[in-house]
Structure 1
Amino acid sequence: MKKLLTLTALATLALSALAADYPLKDKPVTLVVPFSAGGPTDRVARDLSEALRKQLGTSVVIENAAGAGSSIGSAKVARATPDGHTLLVNHIGMATMPALVRNLPFKVETDFEYLGIINDVPMTLIAKPSMPANNYKELTAWIAQNKGKINLGNAGVGSASHLCGLLYQNAIETDMTTVPYKGTAPAITDLIGGQIDLLCDQTTNTSSQIEGKKVKAFAVTTPKRLTTPSLKDLPTLAESGVKDFQITIWHGLYAPKGTPAEVLAKINAALKAALKDPDFIKKEEALGAVVATDKRIEPAEHKKFVQAEIAKWTPIIKAAGVYAD
């Protein structure tokens, strides 16, 4: 027992010593993305990595570890050495994993250090280019005429598009055949090809497809219309008659539990500076994302926000009876 206490004390001293030199110049900071490369969270993380590199003065690399409702990559970070060199960029999945993943190997609320919200990403309801409807009213009529035959794609169980699809079906009281893909890219490819009918996905994925007229866009999921040039003419689902329908996908930054406070303070300061980086803001705005500027950039408020989101999404997911594992 005494030997164990000694080893623990030595480990604590080692981490404390590391804090003064963080980040180590010969060791990159790794941002683990619990989704496939090329997806919306991956794009946000890659934009953020460059902005963080400027602030931390060391290389920041991306590691994709997709699967099981984002729990595989998240577990990797929860188990990582708490030295600030392995961080997690995750979206709303942090709030949905407790309900989506059975036997989750960590606790979202206690096994991570919260570092701040990065952005909020609106979502768009889009359809195959051959869709006969040209506005939301016509789409509503088409849905009514084709009940039982509609295919609604998503990027996989637990993905943002899956959650939006669940919420949309509940809101319009219409069941559709959900078609899960291994990532957003194949889902959009099949939507463009007409293999699926509808998709509700983040503007980080859909803006260029909408602007290029490769898909038909019908509405956004925000309380107000967006100002992004390619999306500004789209009505909100709420104004189109879908009551109380709002969903934005937020992204946050996390470290393993036990990361020294001094390191956490340095990372949070770097994140705050990154969120003010003009290049980062420009990249996010081009994707329709809104960079966080509110109190959620503070660790305590970030955690409080996620706890509220867990309370919001748990009953919706349980009612749907879906699991990511």
Structure 2
Amino acid sequence: MKKSLVTLIAMSAALAAGSALAFPDKAVTIVVPFSAGGPTDKVARDLAVALGAQLKQTVVVENVGGAGGTLGATKVAKAAPDGYTLLLYHIGMATSASLYRNLPFKATEDFEYLGMINEVPMTLIGRPTLPASNYAELVKWLEANKGKVNLANAGLGAASHLCGLLFQQSVKIDMTTVPYKGTAPAMTDLLGGQVDLMCDQTTNTVPQIAGGKVKAFAVTSMQPLTAPALANLPTLDSQGLKGFNVAIWHGLYAPKGTPAAVTGKLNEALRAALKDADFIKKQEALGAVVVTDGRLAPAEHKKFVAAEIDKWGVAIKAAGQYAD
């Protein structure tokens, strides 16, 4: 009996090892925890093409939006740990720990880290009819309209919410926060003049800035950006908000317990995909910077996320903005 049990365990281990070695033998799904058409979705769809070429398998994108990205993240955390269901999440991987009191997953415990993808600066933009043409004029307008300014965001925990939160704290001017269910409706109302300002990722704002559909006031990086539509935009740091530096990063994750042989293959494929010339070109055109440093390694990316959890926890708790 004991010998049969040992044999069974050995056979199961052999089958698992064989399955890992054969990975992937079917399509891989990347879950994006936001609606289609948003900035994170754009990154995922570009990556899916480059990653699929490396894995020699189809990589599909599934949008599972809701609750600031936590619904999609929870789905992946509870998925089979076989490498066929992955999560592409932005900075919400770190901020959700402070934003949500009853979060159904733990960012540093319930996932296998595969590596960081890119960093995306933000842009401070306004409605086309806003009576300010540069950042200095914007500050004067904000001071003259305290209590009347509407600041849009794509929902609690969204990149635009976080950037807007820090901007309000930095300029020491309270604004009326207007949350939307996604970036698209927030941008629509900004274009239509229903709200005044939004701070959002360059991956979402560059087309609007290039088309002259919004007023652009500054970028949130420490250095000016080289993308054509952003080349003449000053940094908030250079405009008086010293040290203001907000970049929304994206990372790739698998469910906890995914075999090391599988995560190793995924990390190797991710590293190669991030060197794909077409992927790099598409990211650069949107102002995003593809990661090439140590954060490509799972352990280093996890260490980075842990530090981000601490950093954003301070800002979120100071603002007192939570979800149930």
Q: Provide TM-score, normalisation by structure 2.
A: 0.96
* Matched-pair contact (CA < 8 Å) for 1:33–1:62: yes
2-structure distance, mates of 1:185, 1:205: 9
Q: Give CA deviations for 1:230-264 in whole Å, capped at 9, x if unaligned.
A: 10100000100112211000000000111111111
1:21 paired residue number = 22
Give the deviation of 1:66 after TM superposition. 1.1
| Cα gap change, 1:78 to 1:145, in 2 (>3 Å) | same
Superposed counterparts of 1:122-137, under 5 Å:
122-137=121-136
Q: Residue type of the partner of 1:94?
A: M
Q: Give CA deviations for 1:151-197 in whole Å, capped at 9, x if unaligned.
A: 00000100000000000000011110000011111111110100000
Give the deviation of 1:9 after TM superposition. 7.7
1:42 paired residue number = 41
1-structure distance, mates of 2:155, 2:177: 10
- SS, match of residue 239 in structure 2: coil
Q: Residue type of the partner of 1:53?
A: G
1-structure distance, mates of 2:16, 2:278: 33
Give the deviation of 1:16 after TM superposition. 2.3
2-structure distance, mates of 1:11, 1:155: 46
2:288 paired residue number = 289
For structure 1, the residue ranges without an aligned partner over 5 or more in a row are none
Q: Give CA deviations for 1:54-86 in whole Å, capped at 9, x if unaligned.
A: 000111001111112211111111111111100
Q: Residue type of the partner of 1:270?
A: A
Counting aligned pairs with the same residue, the percent is 66
| Cα gap change, 1:225 to 1:219, in 2 (>3 Å) | same
Give the deviation of 1:318 after TM superposition. 1.5
Q: Residue type of the partner of 2:160?
A: S
Superposed counterparts of 1:250-289, under 5 Å:
250-289=249-288
Q: Residue type of the partner of 1:222?
A: S
2:113 paired residue number = 114
Give the deviation of 1:120 after TM superposition. 0.4
Q: Give CA deviations for 1:176-226 in whole Å, capped at 9, x if unaligned.
A: 000001111111111010000000000000001001000000000000100
| Cα gap change, 1:10 to 1:180, in 2 (>3 Å) | farther
| Cα gap change, 1:12 to 1:93, in 2 (>3 Å) | farther
1:155 paired residue number = 154
| Cα gap change, 1:316 to 1:5, in 2 (>3 Å) | farther
- SS, match of residue 238 in structure 2: coil
Q: Give CA deviations for 1:123-164 in whole Å, capped at 9, x if unaligned.
A: 000000001111111000000000000000000100000000
1-structure distance, mates of 2:223, 2:33: 30
Q: Residue type of the partner of 1:165?
A: G
Q: Give CA deviations for 1:84-138 in whole Å, capped at 9, x if unaligned.
A: 1000000000000111112211111111001110000010000000011111110
- SS, match of residue 232 in structure 2: coil
1-structure distance, mates of 2:297, 2:50: 18
1:201 paired residue number = 200
1-structure distance, mates of 2:169, 2:148: 17
2-structure distance, mates of 1:176, 1:255: 38
Give the deviation of 1:14 after TM superposition. 4.0
How much is the aligned-residue C-alpha RMSD, in angstroms?
Answer: 1.8
| Cα gap change, 1:36 to 1:5, in 2 (>3 Å) | farther
2-structure distance, mates of 1:207, 1:182: 21
2:215 paired residue number = 216
Report the count of equivalent residues: 322
1:321 paired residue number = 320
Give the deviation of 1:12 after TM superposition. 5.2
* Matched-pair contact (CA < 8 Å) for 1:69–1:324: no
1:145 paired residue number = 144
2-structure distance, mates of 1:286, 1:120: 13
Q: Give CA deviations for 1:268-310 in whole Å, capped at 9, x if unaligned.
A: 0000000000010011111111111111001111001000000
2-structure distance, mates of 1:288, 1:315: 28
1-structure distance, mates of 2:8, 2:97: 33
Alignment of 1:81 with 2:80, yes or no, is: yes
Q: Residue type of the partner of 1:21?
A: A
2-structure distance, mates of 1:137, 1:127: 14
Superposed counterparts of 1:303-318, under 5 Å:
303-318=302-317
| Cα gap change, 1:213 to 1:14, in 2 (>3 Å) | same
- SS, match of residue 230 in structure 2: coil
Q: Residue type of the partner of 2:234?
A: P
- SS, match of residue 229 in structure 2: coil
Q: Provide TM-score, normalisation by structure 1.
A: 0.96
1-structure distance, mates of 2:110, 2:289: 28
Q: Residue type of the partner of 1:260?
A: P
| Cα gap change, 1:19 to 1:162, in 2 (>3 Å) | same
